[in-house]
Amino acid sequence: MSVIAKNSLQYYVVDSNEALEFKMVRRPEDLEDDEVTFKPDMSHQVYGDSEQIFGYSGLQVKLYYSAGRLTTYLAHTYADKVHPDKFEGIKPDEVIKPIAEKIPPGYLTNLEDFTAILQKDASFVPFGDLERRFTARTEEGKEKTFEVYRCCASTPGFLPYHEHFQTFILWYIDAASYIDVDDEKWRFFVTYEKYEVEGRQQYAFAGYTTVYEYYAYPANVRPRISQMLVLPPFQRLGLGAEMLNTIYSNYQSDARVLDITVEDPSDNFARLRDFVDAKNCLTLDSFDKAKLYEGFSAAMVEEAKKKLKLNKVQCILTMEVVWVETP
């Protein structure tokens, strides 16, 4: 192949992170609203380490979800495409197939069909048991209401729904893997925004956390937080802290629980956990301001373990945060 031809092929190489666009669609108008579009943090788990797609210019890969039911629309558009007869048989990369292999079957490819089905979201209600309701204020000053629901594998209708939202981890959690949802020891804490449309309550999926309940001798439980994800449109609203406190509330009153742990926490999650634990510890008698000046004590470890289900290592880390934040 000539140098000119090789240089021409570079025109048909696109960044897959830039080409991808996601939407959580609440109404038909959102389909044309760039304000509701968000991007992946990564795409190498779908399109390979280079995070590039070859064979197109002006490529847009559209992965849209209805905000509640998570009905999925997948399609792509482009300005130009490599033609094998002009480039010695070189073919463009598959665009849709790599995503289709990761998401549940039954996704829509016709935008009119997707638009028509949006109305079904009006009757969607979250699965599982309501654990927490809270409000958060956006940077623009708008107050939003959120609810966290707890589910397990036996929750009616939940597993097919989980198949849809678990695919988000491929775009936002490195080295992500799908869990074995048939294992009854998994627990799911799913967060939704609760909003109103013409006087009727509706729900939009916002994020989730998974917890595995490990057995601990002789007849105890050691819950381990595995994955936490908050979608970009809902970040910076405190949802991560609220989900974490929901998990804590769910287990702290259970006498069988020894402590609550975290599986390979990212730096961001570790900071979140330390912040939440520090705030919770400051509500304990042993962390009274006067006692903080006396230094770390066994009483702090004992009370944090008993009431907050923190192990000694996490208690020490939390104590360091408390000291930094205490004047």
Domain boundary residue, one of 121, 147, 175: 121
Asked if 76 and 150 sit in the same domain, the reply is no
Buried b (16+ CB within 10 A) or exposed e, 128-157: beebbebebeeeeeeebebbbbbbbbebee
Asked if 140 and 114 sit in the same domain, the reply is no
What pLDDT score does 186 carry? Answer: 98
Question: Tokens 């999650």 identify what position?
Answer: 269
What pLDDT score does 109 carry? Answer: 98
Q: Give 24-33 pLDDT, tens digit per residue.
A: 999 999 999 9
Asked if 54 and 173 sit in the same domain, the reply is no
Is 29 an active-site residue?
no
Q: Give 81-97 pLDDT, tens digit per residue.
A: 988 877 777 899 999 99
Domain residue limits at 307: 265-327
Angle between helices 267-281 and 312-325 (to 10 degrees): 80
Q: In this structure, what CATH number is given to the domain that contains residue 142? A: 3.40.630.30
Residue 24 within a domain: yes
Asked if 32 and 111 sit in the same domain, the reply is yes
Domain boundary residue, one of 68, 100, 121: 121
What pLDDT score does 86 carry? Answer: 74
Annotated active-site residue in 94, 263, 302, 320? 263
pLDDT band at 5 (very low <50, low <70, confident <90, very high): very low
Residue 260 within a domain: no
Q: Give 156-177 pLDDT, tens digit per residue.
A: 999 999 999 999 999 999 999 9
Domain boundary residue, one of 208, 229, 254: 254
Q: In this structure, what CATH number is given to the domain that contains residue 63? A: 3.90.360.10
Asked if 49 and 95 sit in the same domain, the reply is yes
Task: Please count the structural domains in the chain.
Answer: 3
Q: Where are the beta strands (DSSP E) in the chain?
A: 13-15, 20-25, 37-38, 52-54, 56-57, 60-66, 72-77, 80-81, 129-137, 143-152, 186-197, 200-216, 220-230, 261-262
